[in-house]
Structure 1
Amino acid sequence: MNEFIDTHQQQLINSLICFIAFFIIRYLTAKAIHKIGRISDINRVRTKLIIRYITILFMAISFIVIVYIWQVNFEDLGIIFSSVFAVLGVALFASWSILSNITAGVILFFSFPFKIGDRIKILDGDFAEEVDILDIKAYHIYLKKDNGELLTYPNNLLLQKGVVLINRDDNDDTTEGDYI
């Protein structure tokens, strides 16, 4: 064990620096996203979801840095990753809309054109009614019609279709689970 530590001392130090940097950057980013969520009056559940996505991104970047620090042979690593990505590609091809809905959820979080409690009208030929926003999730948004009917609408369609904000509920007391 001592021989390993003596031989790879610089890589161990650099790896430790990478891990420390990961946790510091993740903490600062999470704090900034929480602040954006509070200032913009965004639901805490959505804020935590975005923090989870950012953490995954930082973990991937840290993994790449660790691979570089330890000078892993990219040809061997390439074979492993190509096999994994081939399997994931086939699996995700059938569910590409899930990825587009997650991406749309992140865009909706940072652009915050509407929030929970707002009344909107989606300009879609099949769906042209005014509805209230009950909750915004990673994949979809929960809407409530005037007759009490609950609808689930995909996030990516909110970015593709025109949405008219009828009125903003500035005194939003709605929390997750109030509609169930």
Structure 2
Amino acid sequence: MDQIITQYATAIIGTLIVIFVLLILRLTIAMIVRRVGRSKNLNPKRTELVLRYMTTGLITIALVALTLIWGVNVMELGFIFSSVFAVMGIALFASWSILSNVTAGIILFLNFPFKIGDRIRILDKDLDMDKEFLIEDIKAFHIHLRTKKGHLITYPNSLMLQKGVFQIENNPQKPVVEE
């Protein structure tokens, strides 16, 4: 047992350092994301969703670091990863909009001037430009918009970044007025 510990001492210490750094980064990022969510008065579910994305990214980076620390044969790993990434690449290419909507969801979380309950207009030729919408919920892939007639519209996050959006008012008590 002592021989194994002596032989892999550097890798064990490196692993412990990676785990320690991962935990510290995770706690720091969680604190920052929650603080941003509170300061912008965002939905706690959205905050937790963004935190989950950040945690997944940190774990991926930690796994790459551990692979390098333990000296896994890069040629064998390269073959496995290239096969997995080829399949994932085809799947993601087929549904690239999902990836762009998730990315847009994170951007909207960090820098979006509108909140749930705000009334907005979207400058989109496919939507009625005179129509007001109530932001009912903001999800990872799309935003739920409610019309005066009670219709629910799911609008992709990526389009919210691309289209002009302006705020009518942010008073959820006042009813939507159709013009």
Work out whether the TM-score is over 0.5. Answer: yes
Q: 2:143 aligns with which of 141, 144, 153?
A: 141
- The answer for the alignment partner of 1:174 in structure 2 is none
Contact kept in structure 2, 1:120 and 1:164, CA below 8 Å: yes
Give CA-to-partner distance per residue, 1:3-36, whole Å, 9 cap, x none. Answer: 3222101101110111111011101110111011
- The answer for the alignment partner of 1:14 in structure 2 is 14
Aligned counterparts, 1:82-161, within 5 A = 82-127=82-127, 128=129, 129-161=131-163
SS in 2 for 1:72: coil
Give CA-to-partner distance per residue, 1:99-137, whole Å, 9 cap, x none. Answer: 000000000000022110000101001112210000000
Give CA-to-partner distance per residue, 1:156-176, whole Å, 9 cap, x none. Answer: 1101111111112388xxxxx
Pairwise CA distance, 1:73: 2.3
What TM-score, normalized to structure 1?
0.90
SS in 2 for 1:141: strand
Give CA-to-partner distance per residue, 1:16-65, whole Å, 9 cap, x none. Answer: 11111101110111011101100110110110011001001111111121
Contiguous gaps of at least 5 residues in structure 2: 174-179
AA aligned opposite 2:149: N
AA aligned opposite 1:159: L
SS in 2 for 1:126: coil
- Aligned equivalents of 2:108 and 2:145: distance in 1? 15
What TM-score, normalized to structure 2?
0.91
- The answer for the alignment partner of 1:175 in structure 2 is none
- Aligned equivalents of 1:112 and 1:43: distance in 2? 13
- Aligned equivalents of 1:149 and 1:101: distance in 2? 22
- The answer for the alignment partner of 1:73 in structure 2 is 73
Root-mean-square deviation (CA, aligned residues, Å) is 1.4
- Aligned equivalents of 1:5 and 1:74: distance in 2? 24
AA aligned opposite 1:32: I
- Aligned equivalents of 1:67 and 1:147: distance in 2? 56
- Aligned equivalents of 1:74 and 1:81: distance in 2? 10
SS in 1 for 2:153: strand
- Aligned equivalents of 1:146 and 1:19: distance in 2? 51
SS in 2 for 1:164: strand
Aligned counterparts, 1:33-52, within 5 A = 33-52=33-52
